[in-house]
Structure 1
Amino acid sequence: MRLSESAIDLPVFRLSRVLGFRLTKFDPVESLQKQKWRLQSHWLYLCVMPNLLQNLQIAKATIVEKPAVARMLQLYLHDFSEFAKVGEPYGEIGNDGTFQYEHFDSYWNEAEREALLLRVNGHIAGFVLVNQWSASSLGTDNSMAEFFVLRKYRRSGIGKLVASKIIRQRSGKWEIPVADYNQPALAFWRSVVSSLEHYSHEEIPGDGRR
């Protein structure tokens, strides 16, 4: 998904890679059905997760916390390997028994890359990697490189809340690369972008390779 500035000076958001979403001009007119769904969803969300909402922390991961992010990255890559096909180079581990991830160290060395650590009630709940790489080649200010929430906290609303807060905290254009074969991720991000008020999006296909 991709975000950029709209004609009325509102952030717009674009998502792309194997499949993506591009956010375009904001339309202030919503259907009554969509408004009703949002009210119901918001009410259920607040009733089910009051404590989680109050105790959610999203902070830049320090160098001391880097090993924790590295260990969770292994869980993330293992989850993602489920979608890799036998015979393809993706989803393989090295001789040391770990998945390799290029540019990991750069998230603590380069200004345009940032590693975020998620905590719920003081407990680590996941991580997010943000950079400026444009999967669509259209250019972007922000890109959601990796997004991981521990299984315990999935389907609780935490992931959607985290994604929304991170997007809103950063101005300019956004891209969220999503592999089209990862249907759970597609469903999640479609839900996120459709719920963002003052944002519009366009889903754009990628080349299937990046």
Structure 2
Amino acid sequence: MPAPIELLKTTPEQADLIRNLYQFYAYEGSDLEQEDVDVQGRFYIHEPHLQRYWQSPGWGAYLVLVDDFIAGFVLIERSELPGIDALELADLFILKRFRRQGVGSAVAGQFLGDGNHHWLLRCHGGDAPAVAFCQALLANLPRAVEEIALGDEPQLRNFMVGGTRH
């Protein structure tokens, strides 16, 4: 029997927790993003952007819990790209201990399966595991999915999720 997965919407008081977990996320993508640590040995986090998860409508930071243990986080944003009226599954991070158990798929599916919203899902085209994850996830959604071209970040693959698949 799989362990129970819970999404917990965080509050501004949990910003340090999200900030700490984000360091692991940034580390894992640092080779693709060509990011370096600062003189304190930490990856850069744009604080005004981070605060928007608790201040801006349509934005949210969620902890992923498995059996009451922190397993990762999800960051949701309202897309600000021209012509895109959708929520964006901006960042999904699952700690290695909880990977390959369906946790990431279950969490992403909860958001993307929400028929009340259109969603934008973007993944780095050079990250083969992320692309495979996105493709498998999207293939199993009960909603229409369309790959779209966006010119802002050419290394990203972009998928719009919305409507009902017939």
Fold similarity call, TM over 0.5: yes
Give the 3 Å change call, closer, same or farther, for CA 131–170 of structure 1 in structure 2: farther
Structure 2: segments with no counterpart, 5+ residues: 157-166
Report deviation, 1:108: 1.5
Cα distance in 2, alignment partners of residues 183 and 206 from structure 1: 20
The answer to whether the 8 Å contact 2:61/2:74 transfers is yes
Q: 2:40 — aligned with what?
A: 96
Q: Does 1:74 align with 2:23?
A: yes
Give SS of 2:123's match.
coil
Give the 3 Å change call, closer, same or farther, for CA 134–209 of structure 1 in structure 2: farther
Q: 2:129 — aligned with what?
A: 184
Q: Does 1:203 align with 2:152?
A: no
Cα distance in 2, alignment partners of residues 180 and 140 from structure 1: 23
Match of 2:116 among 148, 166, 171: 171
Of stretches 126-135 and 184-193 in structure 1, the one that deviates more from structure 2 is: 126-135
Report deviation, 1:101: 2.3
CA RMSD of aligned residues (A): 1.8
Give SS of 2:36's match.
coil
Provide TM-score, normalisation by structure 1.
Answer: 0.67
Structure 1 or 2, whichever has the larger Rg, is 1
Report deviation, 1:209: 5.9
The answer to whether the 8 Å contact 1:133/1:143 transfers is yes
Higher relative contact order (CA 8 A, sep 6+): 1
Q: 1:132 — aligned with what?
A: 78
Q: 1:51 — aligned with what?
A: 2
- 1:180 counterpart letter in structure 2: G
Q: 1:83 — aligned with what?
A: 32
The answer to whether the 8 Å contact 1:134/1:175 transfers is no
Give SS of 1:65's match.
helix
Q: 2:56 — aligned with what?
A: 110
Report deviation, 1:141: 2.2
Give SS of 1:64's match.
helix
Higher strand share: 2
Cα distance in 2, alignment partners of residues 209 and 83 from structure 1: 10
Give SS of 2:144's match.
coil
Structure 1: segments with no counterpart, 5+ residues: 1-49, 85-89
In the TM superposition, structure 1's runs of 4+ consecutive aligned residues that sit over 3 Å from their partners are none
Cα distance in 2, alignment partners of residues 116 and 167 from structure 1: 15
Give the 3 Å change call, closer, same or farther, for CA 187–162 of structure 1 in structure 2: same
Q: Does 1:154 align with 2:99?
A: yes
Give the 3 Å change call, closer, same or farther, for CA 204–111 of structure 1 in structure 2: closer
Report deviation, 1:170: 5.8
Provide TM-score, normalisation by structure 2.
Answer: 0.83
